[in-house]
Amino acid sequence: MTNESTRTVKSAATLFDVLDAVHRLEGGGATAVAEELDIAKSTAHDHLATLAEHEFLIKDEGSYRVGLKCLHYGVQAKSRMVLADVASPSLEQMAEETGEIAWVMVEEYGKGVYLEKAMGDRAVQPYGEIGKRVPLHNIAAGKAILAHLPEDRVREIVTETPLEERTETTVSDPDELLAELETVRDRGYALNDGETFEGFRAVASPVVNDGELLGSIVVSGPENRLSDDRFTEELPEIVTGAANAIELSMASR
């Protein structure tokens, strides 16, 4: 990620910066983008025109916003969409059974990507969003994934993205993390007890098919509803059960 030995198309960096700026600004014109990125107004204009010509942006009377062309490519990240489709009913069932929110997550470039969700009737959504990319080390779903990656890959990820401490309980020492991953591997599920947000807990389980890690599923909610036995026994059982169901469905495809 950080090695820039290979030759790349430099103007693409600007191009994607412009796309990202429009995304961040939730729509804007040449001047706004130029200021945001500290480039010439005319350059911003050229890139905006380019992205619009290729239909990645929509032009609306001088202002631009992100189009849906990306969806076209993103959605067809195929093997993962299969996982989303297959996991969907299990997510719904977990959401209904627990009343909380349930997610599928996959790994990409050392980050976690939320793929699909299901909301129970009491569900709150404090953090995730479909397509959002987050660090792996301080969330349950992420630890479930890390636990099933090769150790050197985990070390690579950990050295590339610093272990940001979000709350007091966040694990910030690499070795401590690796030890925790060992436990996760043994018992089959990962926990998050207020490591991302104070007062929020989550239980996650990896989804493996044919020895290959596909992603993980997770249920999360506020501490007062996920207390004691529910957090340490009931939910782990539900989540690992759902993961098994998904693994079975994936195997028969």
Partner DNA sequence: ACTTTCGTTCGTGGTCCTCGAACGATACCG
Partner DNA sequence: CGGTATCGTTCGAGGACCACGAACGAAAGT
CB of 67 or CB of 241, closer to a copy of itself: 67
**Sole window of 8-16, 165-173, 218-226, 230-238 interacting with a copy of itself (rule: CB under 8 A):** 8-16
- Closest alpha carbon to 33 in 49, 51, 11, 17: 17
- Residue 55, interface with a copy of itself (CB under 8 A)? yes
- Residue 20, interface with DNA (CB under 7 A)? no
State how far the Cα of 122 lies from the Cα of 24, in Å rounded to an integer: 30
Q: How many chain residues interact with a copy of itself (CB under 8 A)? A: 50
Q: Which of 35, 63, 67, 156 binds a copy of itself (CB under 8 A)?
A: 67
State how far the Cα of 14 lies from the Cα of 62, in Å rounded to an integer: 20
CB of 28 or CB of 128, closer to DNA: 28
CB of 139 or CB of 203, closer to a copy of itself: 139
- Residue 109, interface with a copy of itself (CB under 8 A)? yes
Q: Smallest gap, in angstroms, from Cβ of residue 33 to a copy of itself? A: 14
Other beta carbons within 10 angstroms of residue 244's beta carbon come to 15
CB of 18 or CB of 145, closer to DNA: 18
CB of 11 or CB of 159, closer to DNA: 11
The entry of a copy of itself, DNA, none that residue 28 binds, CB within 5 to 8 Å by partner kind? DNA
CB of 17 or CB of 97, closer to DNA: 17
- Closest alpha carbon to 136 in 218, 81, 231, 73: 218
- Residue 130, interface with a copy of itself (CB under 8 A)? yes
- Residue 54, interface with DNA (CB under 7 A)? no
**Sole window of 58-66, 113-121, 174-182, 225-233 interacting with DNA (rule: CB under 7 A):** 58-66
CB of 244 or CB of 249, closer to a copy of itself: 249
State how far the Cα of 6 lies from the Cα of 173, in Å rounded to an integer: 32
The residue ranges that bind DNA (CB under 7 A) are 5-11, 14, 28-32, 39-43, 45-49, 59, 62-63
Residues making contact with a copy of itself (CB under 8 A): 1, 4, 6-9, 11-16, 19, 23, 26, 46-47, 49-51, 53-56, 58, 65-78, 80, 106, 108-109, 113, 115, 129-133
